[in-house]
Structure 1
Amino acid sequence: MRADISAPTTGGKTPTVIRLLVLATFVVILNETIMINAIPSLMTDLKIDPQAAQWVSTVFMLTMAAVIPVTGWFLQRVSTRKAYAIAMGVFLAGTALSAVAPTFAVLLLGRVIQAGGTAVMMPLLMTTLMTVVPEEARGKVMGNVTLAISVAPAMGPVVSGLVLRFAEWRWLFVLVLPIAGAVTYLGYRKLEDVGEPQAGEIDWSSVAFAALGFGALVYGLSKFSPDNVASPALLVVAGIALVAVFAVRQLKLQRTGTPLLDLRVLLAGTFTKGLVLMSIAFLAMLGSMMLLPLYLQGVRHLSALETGFLVMPGGLAMGLLGPTVGKIFDRFGGRVLVIPGSIGITVSLAGFTQISMDMPYWQLLGLHILLMISLAAAFTPVFTLSLGALPPHLYSHGSSMLGTLQQVSAAFGTALVITVMTARAKSLVEGGAEPIAAELDGMRLAFGISAALSVIVIIMALVLPARAADHGHGAPVEVEDEAPAPQLVKD
């Protein structure tokens, strides 16, 4: 039997609980990208090399990949307010520790703690949204969510570039602390609980397999380079093996206990198609986000701040278009958005294969805005369609799986484009080519591979339904106990 959950009517407005969660999510996601421009300062202040400095980003990604699979189970066991308080409390503790870190090791520990809190916020937001917003209004509300979560990463490098012109890197954390503290206090005071927590013991072996498996997979992918293939490949193989053990364990727990990540979400065809589309689109997006700054700074010699300002309009366009995309989705369904969006992704990535030493900046800006707008047209409907195809008691597990695959896709996309670019450039240099010309050619090839992969996004867009109900609402899942119907509970 499936739990019957009736969402409260919103009257077309974004519920307060969602507004508060969006605000908190904006703060933690902003922090995820705010350290990008701080690498040179870290190297000087903490006396570390570039490889070590990159760990401030790598360790964040690793922690996210390890923690997100646990959130599906976690969000079903605690109330909305408690999950929010734990996530933001952990994030604040990590931010404070990072601000006063006397050594690089302590800074990394602070980033791990920050990421632990961040990993909970997005699944919490998506699960709550799917529960309290009726299906006919989800597109609009999801569009407003897209605005916040798209603008935040776009603003991160620009904000950090401005701060670092006047202060040291520690101020990136010091300035976040009071903002995050105020958001946490306001949210906890006004947030309402959604639904009732369910009983269930945690399977610690599943936690270990998930953390080690997804962690090894993401770390192995992040370490790939033409000069270093064997060791990362072994890590990736080990990660895949551990993830396979984790999956087998979940299948067993679905019959005999409480799974950490319920794989029955994959029985919903629309969810699985959306999962594939989102993973490939995220891979292409992260690949381009890695290549474009390398091109602008390494080939065109722009500063980090100038690069941030050039790519910011694309992120802002993606976010500002979110509410409009949501309204169109509510009225016409997903296909009128996802199909053109997927084509736009491929066209923009193909356009980036034409980069040169003197390509006009307006063309680069136009291609990047096209990519971001196309991603907005695809992401909002696909998120809504995918989760809407699940029965309500699997919303948290669906959100967790989407988040986990995004982290893996991000790592794979980054590893793919960097490895392809570096290998191609090295081969050309050995053949007598100029280093800059060789690097540029490697970037073109990497963009070309991303464009080729994005064709899969078009294929998946063509097989997605216009609405989740078109293929039947929910997965054909049988559960022994009927989950309690969530309702807003005021303190």
Structure 2
Amino acid sequence: MQGAPQIDQKNIRALPILVALLLSGFIGMFSETALNVALSDLMQQLSISPATAQWLTTGYLLTLGILVPVSGLLLQWFTTRQLFITSLCFSIIGTILAAIAPSFEILLTARVVQAIGTGLLLPLMFNTILIIFPAEKRGAAMGMIGLVIMVAPAIGPTIAGLLIENLSWHWIFWLALPVLIIALACGILFMQNVSKITKPRIDAISIVLSSIGFGGIVFGFSSAGESEGWGTPKVIIAIIVGVVALVLFGIRQMGMKQPMINLRAFKFPMFSLGVLMVFLCMMVILSSMLVLPMFLIRGQGYSAFKAGLLLLPGGIINGIMSPIMGRLFDKYGPKWLVIPGLAIVSASLWFFSSISATSTVVFVIVLHSALMIGISMIMMPSQTNGINQLPRDLYPDGTAIMNTLQQVAGAIGTALAVSIMAAGQKSYMNSVSNPEDPAHLIPAFTEGVQGAFIFAMIIAVIGLIISFTIKRVVVSKI
């Protein structure tokens, strides 16, 4: 076994490392959501259909779904500095490619390269935070990560809308580039090797099964949610193949002495509960955040820029609340945050299920802000409490599991929301005497959106019921 240089905890410069990680994470999340606002512009300029344009998001998710599970292995094979610099190089190359992309094919390639950078960075970011901060300060540090992860997507649509109106979608990437270069410089100057290198055996069969499993499920659900529908052979085969591959992957991991992802992490009950909470939370937030901007633009006639502005207060409030929730978690534990958080989210979604074309700006901003406050009370405390129960040698596996299942939850949540929305529209059109009348389009769309919010509320209520079993864990010293 080969170990990395052992660094005394006192000699770790935690703040510069945290700054480098936060800058990188911010741009990774900003680029992901900012491009969503530009999709209609891209369809027009690149002469592509909505289904084709969605591949810019699906391809990104698919790459993450394949790469993130392998990250637990990479964290044990390469040093912190090597992985950080490599992830930033991929992000910078992908951003430059996207900024100069003359065609859809090059832009899609750029998105995949960017996703490789993000796929390496996210698990590295969480794993490094777990190592460089002691357990009693970990909640506050994870809260800072939460601030970045939530504020970036919140301001992404607003800034993108402004850039598209005044310049072009290419400037989304030109704006991100200097920040990535600064983050890389910070990493080169300050990043330290904090993880232990054990170089476990690489099992090619596990990598293939993991890639087919997670990739198949993300691809299947994404395809169903876009335009394929649930009954098409492509969707059914992708999901079945994905599930079978994951079952075989799980069986193989449990039988190995040095598994690619150590699924024995699930033997720790609060980790399993944390994974479930994060999974349900990601389904809720990604399905809601897909449906709400869509309704503001199509149902209420707002521009992309104005829709982004309406969602900005909630995103900023969530970012501000994340560090506060981190400190409260350090002091009081998860129970008094997660349970009220899920109650607030459930109530907000119940009110959102009555949204209509006449809903006021105040209605949208207040409910969206309440939803974001609730999310900040759930995500970080559930995640940190779960990881805290793991022995230190399982941190890479725990972060890989958490991050992988977030991508899967995103694909499943958005696919189900879009399907429920489409079914609601169809049901409304079938109930009217003249479906061809344009006057029925907005009421039909509204009914579909209301159904999607009811679906998200049901998921939140399930989470609320389960959350009563959450307990503060004693941090493992193993």
- TM-score normalised by length of structure 2: 0.93
Shift in alpha-carbon separation, 1:195–1:287, aligned structure 2, 3 A: closer
Fraction of identical pairs, as percent: 32
Partner amino acid for 2:384?
T
The CA deviation at 1:384 is: 1.0
| Partner residue, 1:308 | 308
| Partner residue, 2:237 | 234
Partner amino acid for 2:117?
G
Separation in 2 of the partners of 1:132 and 1:188? 18
| Partner residue, 1:117 | 117
Gaps of 5+ in 2: none
CA deviation vs aligned residue, 1:403-424 (integer Å, no higher than 9, x gap):
1111111111111111111112
Equivalent residues of 1:65, 1:218 under 8 A apart? yes
Equivalent residues of 2:353, 2:454 under 8 A apart? yes
Separation in 1 of the partners of 2:249 and 2:334? 33
| Partner residue, 2:449 | 443
Shift in alpha-carbon separation, 1:249–1:24, aligned structure 2, 3 A: same
Separation in 2 of the partners of 1:385 and 1:435? 46
Structure 1 counterpart of 2:246, from 243, 248, 268? 243
Equivalent residues of 1:338, 1:377 under 8 A apart? yes
Partner amino acid for 2:453?
F
Structure 2 counterpart of 1:468, from 457, 469, 473? 473
Separation in 2 of the partners of 1:173 and 1:148? 18
Matches within 5 A, 1:141-290: 141-224=141-224, 228-231=229-232, 232-253=235-256, 255=257, 258-290=258-290
Separation in 2 of the partners of 1:312 and 1:34? 13
Equivalent residues of 1:7, 1:131 under 8 A apart? no
The CA deviation at 1:229 is: 2.0
The CA deviation at 1:227 is: 6.7
| Partner residue, 2:420 | 420
Separation in 1 of the partners of 2:17 and 2:229? 47
Partner amino acid for 2:243?
I
Equivalent residues of 1:10, 1:134 under 8 A apart? no
| Partner residue, 2:102 | 102
| Partner residue, 1:481 | none
RMSD over aligned CA atoms reads: 2.1
Shift in alpha-carbon separation, 1:227–1:242, aligned structure 2, 3 A: closer
The CA deviation at 1:19 is: 2.5
Separation in 2 of the partners of 1:324 and 1:48? 44
Partner amino acid for 2:242?
G
| Partner residue, 2:353 | 353
- Asked which structure has the greater RCO (Cα within 8 Å, sep 6+), the reply is 1
Equivalent residues of 1:283, 1:413 under 8 A apart? yes
Shift in alpha-carbon separation, 1:6–1:103, aligned structure 2, 3 A: closer
Q: Secondary structure of the residue that 2:91 maps to in structure 1?
A: helix
Separation in 2 of the partners of 1:82 and 1:313? 37
Shift in alpha-carbon separation, 1:449–1:195, aligned structure 2, 3 A: closer
CA deviation vs aligned residue, 1:245-272 (integer Å, no higher than 9, x gap):
221221222x3xx322111111110000
Matches within 5 A, 1:41-56: 41-56=41-56
Separation in 2 of the partners of 1:238 and 1:7? 46
Separation in 1 of the partners of 2:8 and 2:222? 41
Equivalent residues of 2:23, 2:179 under 8 A apart? no
Are 2:454 and 1:453 aligned? no
Shift in alpha-carbon separation, 1:300–1:164, aligned structure 2, 3 A: same
CA deviation vs aligned residue, 1:297-349 (integer Å, no higher than 9, x gap):
11101111111111111111111111111111111111111111111111111
Equivalent residues of 1:276, 1:460 under 8 A apart? no
Gaps of 5+ in 1: 476-491
| Partner residue, 1:8 | 9
Q: Secondary structure of the residue that 2:9 maps to in structure 1?
A: coil
- TM-score normalised by length of structure 1: 0.91
